[in-house]
């Protein structure tokens, strides 16, 4: 089951869902709009290595906007900190943004029950696209859990700003067979 807009509003008011800052005008029939934060991270090495820490460069988005370039991966973030200890949040790009040729959060839309923080957004434009801080970029839906809940305690808990991949921390030794 998915929460309706009025139920999302009720869940925010009684604490089952946390959205900060919260704006009632961002409620949709069955989702909540989230806005783009003012910071982007861009990987600086020509090859991103899944088994190594990859350095990033920080870019601030001011009121004049920032032009995203095709072929580049930008890590942005939501202005809002969103989470729930009761519901599973899913974040999707808004269709209005998709119609501008911007892919938002294509590979990792699901949040874990118990995660609370700003969401890192993976942004990839098809064409050069100017984006602005505070623009409505995505929407979060909340789904009911079935079964016992094991709250998220992972490495991205309480994230503020965009978070680069920490997959390299999970690296397991690999035995090479000859």
* Predicted model pTM: 0.90
Asked whether the predicted pLDDT for residue 120 surpasses 80, the reply is yes
Lowest mean pLDDT among 19-33, 48-62, 139-153, 154-168: 154-168
Domain edges within the chain: 5-46+55-147
Q: What is the DSSP string of the chain?
A: -B--HHHHHHHHHHTSSEEES--GGGB-SS-EEEEB-SEEEEE-SSS--TTS---EEEEE--TT-EEE-TT--EEEEEEEEEE-SSEEEEEEE-HHHHTTTEEESSS--BPPTT-EEEEEEEEEESS-EEE-TT-EEEEEEEEE--S-------TTTT--S-----GGGGPPP-PPP-
Categorize the per-residue pLDDT at 171 as very low, low, confident or very high, splitting at 50, 70 and 90.
confident
For residue 175, the model assigns a pLDDT of: 67
* CATH superfamily for domain 5-46+55-147: Deoxyuridine triphosphatase (dUTPase) (2.70.40.10)
Mean pLDDT along residues 132-156: 94
pLDDT band (50, 70, 90) for residue 91: very high
pLDDT attached to residue 19: 98
């Amino acid at each position: 089951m998915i929460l309706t807009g009025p139920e999302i509003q009720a869940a925010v008011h009684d604490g089952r869902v946390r959205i900060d800052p919260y704006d009632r005008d961002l409620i949709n029939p069955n989702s909540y709009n989230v806005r783009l934060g003012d910071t982007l991270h861009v990987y600086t090495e020509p090859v991103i290595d899944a088994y190594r820490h990859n350095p990033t460069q920080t870019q601030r988005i001011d009121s004049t906007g920032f032009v995203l370039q095709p072929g580049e991966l930008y890590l942005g973030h939501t202005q809002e900190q969103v989470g729930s200890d009761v519901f599973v949040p899913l974040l999707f790009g808004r269709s209005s943004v998709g119609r501008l040729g911007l892919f938002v959060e294509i590979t990792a839309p699901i949040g874990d029950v118990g995660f609370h923080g700003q969401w890192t957004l993976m942004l990839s434009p098809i064409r050069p696209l100017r984006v602005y801080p505070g623009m409505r970029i995505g929407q979060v839906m909340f789904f009911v859990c079935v079964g016992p809940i094991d709250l998220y305690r992972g490495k991205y808990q309480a994230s503020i700003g965009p978070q680069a991949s920490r997959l390299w921390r999970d690296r397991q030794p690999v035995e090479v067979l000859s």
